Amino acid sequence: MTTVIQGGHTARYSSAFTLDLATCVNPFGPPHVFGRTADALQNGRELRLHPFEAAEAFRHSYARKLGVAAEELIIARGITELIHVVKEVLGSELTCPTPDYTDLILGFPLSTPATRIDVQARYSQIVEIANQSGVIFSNPCNPTGLSIPSNQLVEIVSAYPSRLFIIDESYVDFTSEPETWSMVGAKLSNILVLRSPTKCMGMGGVRVGAAWIPDSGLRARFAKAICKWPLSTFDALFAQLALEEEGWRVSTTKELLNSAMEMEVALTKAGFNPIHNVPVHFRFVPHQNPRLVADKLSEAGVIVRVKSAIEGICGLRFVAPLPSQLSVLISALEGVRQ
Ligand SMILES: Cc1ncc(COP(=O)(O)O)c(C=O)c1O
């Protein structure tokens, strides 16, 4: 039986905790769109009906946000559902470079783990896989945060026109310049990009997401595999209203990125060696005995994500806290100084 578990699931900790740094969802969120969602639902009338229009309405607003044609998006209940559809439709053609995100690790054949954890090594690992098969990976990478700029990814994807590249961009909206990293809109036909606004808008429980698939043949294969009425009316409406809060996204992610830089300094002062030069709001700390450190931090009320060798890297992932809670983390780190 596999011991790989999802992060952010704090219910398994019996003691009270103060800071949940195990989930990558924007802690500022969600933006205040509850009232407007309720109004738009016409006091419940819309919820009595089946969600005939839900996916269509979300498809159009997300396409506008991403700057692509609505027909190029396949809509689903989050990237998770899309990962499972990718597995069903293309599973045998893809390999995942490790380390990478839990569901990709669990769902696809894996490369040998990277021997060096830096962007150049990740780039070479992807090229190496492309020599043998298609590639599925997250960029920015969860858990390391390492990110390959889109102009470099374009070079790889163009060099292997007969391979498919599936890129999970769950964290690209947390970066200060998403366009530097995103492949959405690239003039290539052998890519498929997975996106969802939920983590960045602090609404992980809202299940919406999209696959941008520029190739119409591949898109048709995906459309067949998606279930009828893929979104709930409530989720679709809430997400559309949240997408309008672009100013909120920009200001909260800016604060989170600053908090991540301060967290990186605090981790380094505590004797850890976090992976730096990453454009996201989390930091990975390679460590031989991450469980020991995580247990001690949890005694101080701080929960972080532990990764074991089975996932391609051993260590701890810290998500930046709200700036007002940095001091809690800093004092918890005192107790695990290396
Ligand atoms: C890289 C990555 N992809 C996908 C997901 C799940 O995405 P969603 O919430 O859109 O289903 C996560 C959640 O943590 C993730 O880290």
In whole numbers, what is the pLDDT of the chain averaged over residues?
94
CA of 42 relative to ligand 1 center, distance in Å? 31
Higher pLDDT: 9 or 136? It is 136
73 and 24 belong to one structural domain: no
Could you tell me the two tokens for 16? Answer: 């009270």
CA of 205 relative to ligand 1 center, distance in Å? 11
What's the distance, CA 329 to chain centroid? 23
Residue showing tokens 């730096």: 276
93 and 157 belong to one structural domain: yes
Q: How far apart are the C-alpha atoms of 100 and 82, rounded to whole Å? A: 16
Could you tell me the two tokens for 192? Answer: 């498929």
In a domain, 37, yes or no: no
**Ligand 1 proximity of 99 Cβ (cutoff 6 Å):** no
Choosing from 226, 243, 260, the residue where a domain stops is 243
In this prediction, residue 198 has a pLDDT band, given cuts at 50, 70 and 90, of very high
**Ligand 1 proximity of 147 Cβ (cutoff 6 Å):** no
64 and 194 belong to one structural domain: yes
62 and 132 belong to one structural domain: yes
For residue 134, how many other CB atoms are within 10 A of its CB?
Answer: 21
Global pTM value: 0.95
In a domain, 35, yes or no: no
In a domain, 4, yes or no: no
In a domain, 312, yes or no: yes
Amino acid 101: pLDDT: 95
Choosing from 174, 208, 243, the residue where a domain stops is 243
Atom of ligand 1 nearest to the CA of 81: 11
Domain of 301? 10-29+246-334
**Ligand 1 proximity of 142 Cβ (cutoff 6 Å):** yes
In a domain, 161, yes or no: yes
In this prediction, residue 226 has a pLDDT band, given cuts at 50, 70 and 90, of very high
In a domain, 298, yes or no: yes
CA of 149 relative to ligand 1 center, distance in Å? 20
**Ligand 1 proximity of 78 Cβ (cutoff 6 Å):** yes
Burial 151-177 (b: 16+ CB within 10 A, else e): eebeebbeebeebbbbbbbbbbbbbee
Ligand 1, from 58, 142, 319: best to mutate by most atoms within 8 Å of Cβ?
Answer: 142
Amino acid 2: pLDDT: 38
Give tens-digit pLDDT for 72-112.
999 999 999 999 999 999 988 999 999 999 999 999 999 98
